[in-house]
Structure 1
Amino acid sequence: MKLKLLIICFLSVISTTFAQAPSAAIGSVSGKIIDKATKEPIGYASVSVKEGEKVITGAITQESGNFNIPNLELKSYTLEVQFIGYKTLTKAFTLTNADKSINFGTIAIEAEATQLEGVNIVAERSNIVQKIDRKVVNVGKDLIASGTTASEIMNNIPTVSIDPQTKELSLRGNTNVRVLIDGKPSNIEASQLLQQIPSSSIKQIELITSPSAKYNPEGMSGIINIILHKNSNDGFNGSINAGVTFGETPKTNTALNLNYRVGKVNFYSNYGYNHGINANHGWVNSANPGQENLQNFEFRNLGNSHVLKLGMDYYINDKNTLSFYTNQNIAHTDGYGQTTVNYFDAANNDTYQHFDNENENKTHTYDLAFKHDFAKKGENIEFQANYSKTKNNEDTDYDNTETITNGPLFKESTALNLIDGVTDYAQFNIDYVNPISESLKLELGAESRIQTTESDFVSTEDGNEYITPYTFSKDSNYDFTFDRNIHAVYSNFSKQWNAKWSSQIGLRVEYYEINGDFHRIDNSFQSNLVPQTSTETQDDTVTDDIFTVYPSAFVNYMVDEKNSFNFNYSRRVDRPSIGQLSPIREWTTPLMESKGNPTLEPQFTNSIEVNYTRNTKMGSITSGVFYRRINNEISRVVYNDPNNIDRKILSYDNFDDNNAYGVEASANLKFTKWWAANVSADAYFKTVKGTVQNAITSELENAEADVTTFNARMNNTFTATKDLRFQLFGMYRGEDLSLQFKREAMYKADLGLTYNVMKGKGTFTARYNDIFDTMHFAFDGNIPYRQYGAFYWENQTFYFGFNYMFGGGKNRALQRKQRDANETQGGGMF
């Protein structure tokens, strides 16, 4: 009911706005807004036309920085330009019969922060800009100070959450989200990748909740694109960041960004290193009928990760650019853990499992691109080839003991699990952009993605049972090969109708094919009075090919300089990942094992959203509503292990259609000269579906639950002096519901400060995380039987770090030409 009321109010605002009619007039004013220091165009700046102190009309600049305000009476006005993080600029002008249209040309506005030549400028506080198909979070020092890695600062981004236990990423309450780095994919799991990227290396975070036809349609929630720092100033420039986090165990992080521009060549690099021990523990009380028990868990992992990016841009001439970069990622973890299961009934055998594991992940990525600019301004064509190879290795030793309560008889076993996985991924793109006119733009492109994965799993188990004396051994060999090929073409048409209306429609056509082969051999031996041997084999094949169309549509309506609306529609797909398809186990405990389902099919989502942005003197406020229709939904399924009646299998399956919807709001506000804040809140409503096994009858049953989740964040920045700033961050994550349990609410508060030294080139950062020690995971559930518990990690920590920027290069005419051609100076190859 609350949601319906909120939507009605939202639509009422729209209808009232549409009812406003422009006043009759005959003059106009136009121009282009750019950054005074970098000369880059500034999109979505507020341009107002004032008569005295009264605002007559206005507009929001396009992404190119251009604006045009028509329908003005012939008289004297003041033009006022505002954008978050920049000083307000005013210009007087007069419209007459002799001069009805005034074009100011290029208008440069100055950032509030002191500008340093030759280095990456980082604003004191972050801001969020709503564009036609995405929200862009410009990362400032306040966000960088909130965490040492990308994973840690994500919880400060509106509508984004990181599970503190599993590090799983979710967007708008859903984990089906795709992560790109500088617009390019990575074979590394998002949960691992985000922990490897230093926060100080991040320039922007783009939240693309309704991607256009140009983008890969995978990910129901959309795309998160992380843009890393890179500049192309002449000479040598860079920055270094180092910090230590103190908790139960210390953790270190280091990030180095370098850039060297000479002549027509620009070299750049990013390096990040993270090292430390993560310790956590937890417990689960289970009321499984006849097997009531208490489980205790303890985990400790020593992690080391290296992320290196090396790149080069070669400006052949004003029209042609060749770019190359490579990413080298290495992560190594040595882990220890133990699980104890104590049964309340003496008839059940208590179990104890100890394991030591070693995991290594290596990913090598190579990207080559060529861009050609035609004679027409804005017309270009780009070719791109991307190849990556990922190797995953796991070596785990298990020691298991099963005892009779208060008795001398027991069963013991040791197991060795070796997993080797290799993934080869290649992607080829061609993209063409043609601004047919000042108001009409055409985009065409084609893409091919070829992926091959091979996974080998070897398991050996040896043991003795003294209850009915015998020895046993079992060897298992699993081989899984998976090929996935996707070929696509797309087109986008963008139209600027006038100063108020703009739109974009697109269509993407894809052909998708997969081929998977699974082979398993089990050899077992049992020796007692009569020795027994047995061999079991299993072969499965998965094939599929799908031809699908993905439309998208965007409409942007700028009522005036203060109010704008955005309407989006897109169709997306969630194709099963290799982990969801592979029948090789992902992890195992004495009572649970997780593995994939080779018969899983893709799920499709139709998404609609409406956003409203309000610009005020204090800042900008963006609110929105969205709705998703999900077909053939992928969800979890739990059933008994056919080879072990005491253990459950956690897997995946397809279910009936489903609906999800939500509301969200975010704001960048500057209350006073000394107090600014980023505030966001969101609420999501969905129905969770799945299959669970009845604890009494062992029959599989469909189950569902209605879920409402509320989240809120507030990051305050208090300016004490020019160089000293304090941050106060608070977050609340409301309770969430799955089929098996309810996750209790989670909340925390952090306190930090930043202090600039060396004329702003150096910054000290200190932060006390979770000052009240309230952040932990707790749950309570009744399906398929009552169980409740909690998990704890190193949440209360103290961080101290230092960042230093160096270099003195200056921009040259070549770079200005490229900026005037509306080229992006972001990370990656562009």
Structure 2
Amino acid sequence: MTFSLPKHVIILFFFLTGSAWAQKGPNVTGLVHDPTGSVVEFATVALHRASDSTVLKTEFSDAAGTYRFPSVPAGQYFVSASQVGFARSQTNAFTVSTSNESLPVIQLKSSSATQLKEVTVQARKPMFEREADRIVVNVDGSPLSAGATSLEILSRSPGITVDQNDNLALRGKQGVLVLIDGKRVPMTGSELADMLRSLPANSVEKIELITNPPAKYDAAGSAGIIAIKLKKDGRQGTNGSLTTSYGYGRYGKFTSGINLNHRHKKTNLFGSYNYNDRNVFTQLILHRDFYQNGQFAGSSDQENQGKTHYKTHTYRAGIDYSVSKRTMAGIVVNGMALDAKASIPNVTKTYDAENQLQSSYTSANNRGLRIPNLAGNVNIKHSFDSTGKRELSADFDLAHYETHRLQNLATTFIVPAISPTILAGDLSGALDITSFKADYVHALPNKGRLEGGIKFSQVHSDNNVLFTNIIDSQSVVDTGKSNHFRYDENINAAYINLNQTFNKLTVQLGFRGEQTTAKGQQVIGNAGFSRNYFQLFPSIFLKQPLSKNHDMSLSLSRRIDRPTYNQLNPFRAYIDATTYFTGNPALFPQLSYNVELTHTFKQKFITSVSYSRTDQPIIDVVQPAPDGNRQAVSTFQNLTRSDYYGLTLTVPAQPANWWTMDNNLVAYYQQFVGNLAGTSLNTGIPAYSINTANTFTLGNGWTADVTGNYRSRQLYGFLDIRPLGQLNIGLQKTMLNKKGTLKVNVTDIFYTSPLHATSEYDNYKESFNQRQDTRVATASFTYRFGNDTLAPTRRRTGGAEEEKRRAGGA
């Protein structure tokens, strides 16, 4: 496969690259000392915005008493430091422009010294933080995280939407890359959603939404990256936390978990375990119209309503060890065991062209799902000098994922009165991933920076599907539905990132190359495909301060979204008697070109204008089944192209000292062009989404959050989605000497998030209403134990992120 950039992108790209290379912002550094002048290790150091004292970032001083805040945007700030046994101290206000800022030593005082009086410092991090290239969602501090899942937290985040098939979109675009602790989640669509439903929000520290990632990341994720960071205690000694919660909507939902950490000298041991027991209500009402040669041929009505019971065990354990002052090594093992059972009865009636009853039947769809997953990572990081100007890190990953689906679809016919049927399915799959990556960082003169790396990954997927029909107690293998599919893929990648500063202009330029070899084989029918292609993915980021209050930045990138392994898998999974899901081995990767221009005013008010062009976009469609019988198939298809024009506004406000507000507007126009099921598509409409988050400091340890979101009508391919939204409220109280936290919340108070949509082709029309268990009241309690001496944490990423994300299907 080859590619060519549009001419206007080529001209713009090389015009900009002629300027320079640079980093995204200067660093702020300093030292923390005690009253005797000795260094203070592990002090909590916070960077505050000078205008309103809001905490923007938090770091810890190292063994030399040094702290560092990287890539700080231009503006006015002050830094505060605290440690057990000392009173909080702070620097004077200072201005960051284009050069690194080295601050005077922060001298901590004894605990009886005078406290800060002239400034009221917010102790709790804001719900949303804005950085140069991302939005940070601080999950842990919000009362709305009580009893919630990671998927629910994501669905309430700025610019994030989740559609009726559980596909994630960022600012209206699908093709999102999801990372957990730097590792790609091995699933997409409904399987990714099940994984995120199984990951309690109480185990998550923060979520980062990155719209235009640099070349260091895998080239996947045309819409951007969702990076989830799990909690990891940084205190010395043995520490941990216990959390339990119970929520009730239509059914009950219980979550409990424990986090443990033991840090002593050169060794840090950590682990966590979470148990999730949730019952989820779903309702789907469908109406379908069928046409032949432009004439109405009949219709059908059906209702699915049932309950799914999820039981999930997630666990994580690891060790970090300081081999020397410059070398760190670690091992991490994590896994998940999900067990879900669903009972979804269905009632269906079909009508002929004269609207006369043609058939009537009921179906009982009993489904079971087991997903045992296990992954391991070995990592090492080495600094070649004491300044950290040259660093090498490496990761080796092994992962094994299994999926076991059992299905029993029993159909009883009322009209006409014929014998009942049972369709039994056994869908089993295994996925093995091996990956290695290495990254090197080298500081250059004049604040320059060189980054480079390599990555090798190997994936083997084996899926076996067996369907049997049971009629009059006789079991017969259904060869038309059974299948066996194998898939092998190898991706070799390398990247280079160059940064340099010239006057006030900063630029980052990156190139990433990926060689892909893939082979798929259907054992039944002996059909398959083989692909071998190389792709180059350039990216550029520029930032120019215009004045004290105004900054401009520009980013360009080219990205790819390969089909997930299950999207290629042609196995069938029946949703009800008239609808089934199947993969599409004929899918091609989608390629996108992305441009974004951003203006920042007073470091708070952000306006972004973006454009992206996607070739062969992969979309989720429901269309008439090729075998007729008024069945519909849910599958994936490539369209010809899509064009996206977006406007994003970020407007924070502080109406009062006790009230902070974060408002986010995403307005966009997305046009799709293609041809499916004999229907030409060339359409799009303006759409927008609004997200507001309010935090109230009520005193006596009480805080409250009120969030709301609204999505206008939107078109996505052939799907026309009506407006929806929700309002959520939460309360939080700290107690027991700040070791305990009580949280209560109610989500979707007015139950305004049910989905209403239509899908229309030349020979088929479908409208549906979908409801889920979104209005839930929850209470949770967290207790933290251990000492309060903090130690610096280190990053932990892995190498198999891209392959793990694509391990899942729809």
Common topology (TM > 0.5): yes
Matched, 1:715 2:693: yes
Q: 1:448 aligns with which of 444, 449, 456?
A: 456
Q: Matches of 2:647 and 2:608 in 1, distance apart?
A: 6
Matched, 1:435 2:443: yes
Q: Which amino acid aligns with 1:603?
A: Q
Q: Shift in Å at residue 650 of structure 1?
A: 3.2
Higher mean alpha-carbon deviation, 229-238 vs 414-423, is at 229-238
Change in 2 beyond 3 A, CA 1:582/1:299: same
Answer yes or no: is the 8 Å Cα contact 1:462–1:474 preserved in 2: no
Trace 1:188-587 onto structure 2 (pairs within 5 A): 188-189=187-188, 190-288=192-290, 289-344=296-351, 345-346=355-356, 348-375=358-385, 377-378=387-388, 379-404=390-415, 409-463=417-471, 474-475=478-479, 477-498=482-503, 500-520=504-524, 538-560=525-547, 562-587=549-574
Higher mean alpha-carbon deviation, 122-131 vs 549-558, is at 122-131
Partner residue in 1 for 2:724? 746
Q: 1:794 aligns with which of 773, 780, 785?
A: 773
Answer yes or no: is the 8 Å Cα contact 2:713–2:723 preserved in 1: yes
Q: Matches of 1:404 and 1:68 in 2, distance apart?
A: 73
Percent of pairs with identical residues: 22
Deviations 1:387-429 (CA, angstroms, capped at 9, x unpaired): 1100000011111233436xxx324211110011000011101
Partner residue in 2 for 1:771? 749
Change in 2 beyond 3 A, CA 1:563/1:825: farther
Answer yes or no: is the 8 Å Cα contact 2:27–2:69 preserved in 1: no
Q: Matches of 2:345 and 2:72 in 1, distance apart?
A: 62
Q: Shift in Å at residue 291 of structure 1?
A: 2.1
Q: 2:644 aligns with which of 636, 660, 682?
A: 660
Q: Matches of 1:253 and 1:689 in 2, distance apart?
A: 44
Q: Shift in Å at residue 135 of structure 1?
A: 3.2
Aligned residues: 721
Question: Can you give the 5+ residue segments of structure 1 that lack an aligned partner in the other structure?
Answer: 1-28, 49-60, 70-78, 95-100, 116-120, 521-537, 694-699, 816-823
Q: Matches of 2:501 and 2:302 in 1, distance apart?
A: 62
Answer yes or no: is the 8 Å Cα contact 1:126–1:140 preserved in 2: no
Q: Matches of 2:545 and 2:231 in 1, distance apart?
A: 31
Answer yes or no: is the 8 Å Cα contact 1:313–1:829 preserved in 2: no
Matched, 1:594 2:581: yes
Q: Matches of 1:736 and 1:83 in 2, distance apart?
A: 46
Deviations 1:440-485 (CA, angstroms, capped at 9, x unpaired): 11111100111110000000003269xxxx9987455411000111
Answer yes or no: is the 8 Å Cα contact 1:32–1:105 preserved in 2: no
State the SS of the aligned residue for 1:152. Answer: helix
Q: Matches of 2:590 and 2:774 in 1, distance apart?
A: 36
Q: Shift in Å at residue 773 of structure 1?
A: 2.4
Q: Which amino acid aligns with 2:448?
A: L
Deviations 1:359-392 (CA, angstroms, capped at 9, x unpaired): 0001101000011111162211011101110000
Q: Shift in Å at residue 103 of structure 1?
A: 5.7
Q: Matches of 1:172 and 1:716 in 2, distance apart?
A: 21
State the SS of the aligned residue for 1:646. Answer: coil
Q: Matches of 1:599 and 1:304 in 2, distance apart?
A: 35
Q: Matches of 2:107 and 2:172 in 1, distance apart?
A: 40
Change in 2 beyond 3 A, CA 1:224/1:738: closer
Partner residue in 2 for 1:54? none
Partner residue in 1 for 2:786? 807
Partner residue in 2 for 1:152? 152
Q: Matches of 2:288 and 2:691 in 1, distance apart?
A: 34
Change in 2 beyond 3 A, CA 1:632/1:773: closer
Q: Shift in Å at residue 285 of structure 1?
A: 2.3
Matched, 1:81 2:82: no
State the SS of the aligned residue for 2:260. Answer: strand
State the SS of the aligned residue for 2:183. Answer: coil
Deviations 1:27-68 (CA, angstroms, capped at 9, x unpaired): xx99636899955777896799xxxxxxxxxxxx99537899
Q: Shift in Å at residue 636 of structure 1?
A: 4.5
Answer yes or no: is the 8 Å Cα contact 2:510–2:539 preserved in 1: yes
What is the TM-score with the length of structure 1 in the denominator?
0.80
Q: Which amino acid aligns with 1:752?
A: G
Question: Can you give the 5+ residue segments of structure 2 that lack an aligned partner in the other structure?
Answer: 1-25, 33-39, 53-66, 83-87, 110-114, 117-121, 291-295, 800-810
Answer yes or no: is the 8 Å Cα contact 1:386–1:428 preserved in 2: yes
Deviations 1:546-583 (CA, angstroms, capped at 9, x unpaired): 11111111112234554322211111001111122111
Q: Matches of 1:648 and 1:93 in 2, distance apart?
A: 64
Larger radius of gyration: 1
Kindly indicate whether structure 1 or structure 2 has the higher relative contact order, using CA contacts under 8 Å at least 6 residues apart: 2
Q: Shift in Å at residue 155 of structure 1?
A: 2.2
State the SS of the aligned residue for 2:184. Answer: coil
CA RMSD across the alignment: 3.4
Deviations 1:487-539 (CA, angstroms, capped at 9, x unpaired): 011100111334x332210111110010110022xxxxxxxxxxxxxxxxx22
Q: Shift in Å at residue 782 of structure 1?
A: 4.2
Q: Shift in Å at residue 674 of structure 1?
A: 1.0
Deviations 1:178-224 (CA, angstroms, capped at 9, x unpaired): 10111112324431221122212222212221111111011210211
Q: Shift in Å at residue 643 of structure 1?
A: 3.4
Q: Matches of 2:141 and 2:608 in 1, distance apart?
A: 27
What is the TM-score with the length of structure 2 in the denominator?
0.82
Answer yes or no: is the 8 Å Cα contact 1:231–1:259 preserved in 2: yes
Q: Matches of 2:789 and 2:557 in 1, distance apart?
A: 42
